[in-house]
Amino acid sequence: MSDRLLAADELEAKLRAIGAERYHHLHPFHKLLHAGKLDRGQVQAWALNRYYYQAMIPIKDAYALARLPTSELRREWRRRIIDHDGDGPGTGGIERWLKLAEGVGLDRAYVQSTRGILPGTRFAVEAYVNFVHHRPILEGIASSLTEMFSPDIIADRVRGMLAGYAFITEETLAYFTPRLTQAPQDVNFALTYVKEHARTRAEQELVLDALRFKCDVLWSQLDALYLAYVEPRLVPPGAFAPER
């Protein structure tokens, strides 16, 4: 590794290259999900496990908030928490994910209990929360940059799932609609922030590593789903077992 400082657009190109290699749109589980090739139980397992990730996002963002030094930065970041927790009962991203889970046939209280999730899901999500809690805020913000790649996957997912699964309606997938505008807004801030605040090549490398780490967090959740519910269907003791 050279110690030459990268120009802002070079840093962005390297971030995008990490996404092209490691973002979870490449994972076989997503390919099956988006192609309509999973059965209802497998889609339930995805919705159930992914709920835990959704539910922990505001916790992760609260740790980030606690480390941001100015009202201006905290106001900006606070929006993410509002997006997920909503403005009142029945609103926000977590609530919309619960509606998705119910839409595919899961019981709301069971989903909220997180009793049936895979240990691999739990450990990956907790690693993300701990990362943002303990690493410098520059890296915490950089780890959010997987959202650079999410609008494409969301468009694919919504199109593929509506076409592929008779039991899924537009209403079930309502979670994703606001993400198409929220994610670019979030990315715009975070990308500008890391370009401005990574002031040495070493800091730029930490930014790149943070994005690699976050790609691992997302990828690892799909690995756990694939092993348990696709092949070889090795469901760990105590985890959700779909009706066959």
Q: Confirm or reject binding of residue 205 to its own copies (CB under 8 A).
A: no
Identify the residue among 126, 203, 205, 209 touching its own copies (CB under 8 A).
126
215 in contact with its own copies (CB under 8 A): yes
Query: Does 80 interact with its own copies (rule: CB under 8 A)?
Result: no
According to CB under 8 A, which one of 10, 21, 39, 152 is a site residue for its own copies? 21
22: contact with its own copies by CB under 8 A: yes
Residues 6 or more apart in contact with residue 34 via CB below 8 angstroms: 156, 157, 159, 160, 161, 164
Nearest to 68 by CA among 14, 144, 13, 6: 144
Binding status of residue 52 toward its own copies by CB under 8 A: no
Closer by beta carbon to its own copies, 24 or else 84: 24
Does the protein bind its own copies through residue 231 (CB under 8 A)? yes
Binding of its own copies by 224 (CB under 8 A): yes
Under the phi-then-psi rule, with left for phi > 0, alpha for psi from -120 to 50, and beta for the rest, what region is 135?
beta
What single string gives the DSSP state of each residue in 114-158?
TTTS-HHHHHHHHHHHHHHHHS-HHHHHHHGGGGGGHHHHHHHHH
What is the widest separation between alpha-carbon atoms in the chain? Answer: 56
- When binding is defined by CB under 8 A, the residue of 97, 219, 229, 240 that contacts its own copies is 219
Rounded CA gap, 150 and 187, in Å?
10
The site for its own copies, by CB under 8 A, has a size of 29
Cβ-contact 98, 112 below 8 angstroms:
yes
Which residues are near its own copies by CB under 8 A?
Answer: 21-22, 28, 118-120, 122-124, 126-127, 130, 212, 215-217, 219-220, 223-224, 226-228, 231-232, 234, 236-238
